[in-house]
C-alpha cells in the first residue's frame, strides 16, 4: 500500500502493532493511524 497523498510506502503503526493489537470488543481503535494499522512517514495516519 502507498500514501494517497505522496505515494510513499506505508509502514506498520507502532501504536497498535500494525493493526494486530485489538481494542475494546476486538475492534481496532488507534488514534495514531486512524485505525488503519498503517502510517505514512510524511502524513502519519492521515494518508487516505
Instruction: Delimit the domains of the chain by residue range.
Output: 1-48
Q: What Å distances lie between residue 33 and 5, 6, 7, CA to CA? A: 15, 16, 17
CB contact set of 33 (below 8 Å; sequence gap of 6+): 13, 15, 16, 19, 39, 44, 45
CA–CA distance, 26 with 48 (Å, rounded to integer)? 23
Q: At which residue does the C-alpha cell 502519519 appear?
A: 44
5-9, 28-32, 34-38: segment of lowest average pLDDT: 28-32
Would you mind telling me the total number of residues written for the chain in this entry?
Answer: 48
Q: What is the pTM of this model?
A: 0.82
Which SS3 state, helix, strand or coil, does residue 38 take?
A: strand
pLDDT recorded at residue 28: 76
Amino acid at each position: 500500500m502507498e500514501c494517497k497523498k505522496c505515494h510513499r510506502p506505508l509502514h506498520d503503526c507502532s501504536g497498535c502493532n500494525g493493526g494486530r493489537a485489538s481494542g475494546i470488543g476486538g475492534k481496532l481503535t488507534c488514534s495514531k493511524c486512524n485505525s488503519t494499522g498503517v502510517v505514512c512517514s510524511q502524513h502519519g495516519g492521515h494518508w487516505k
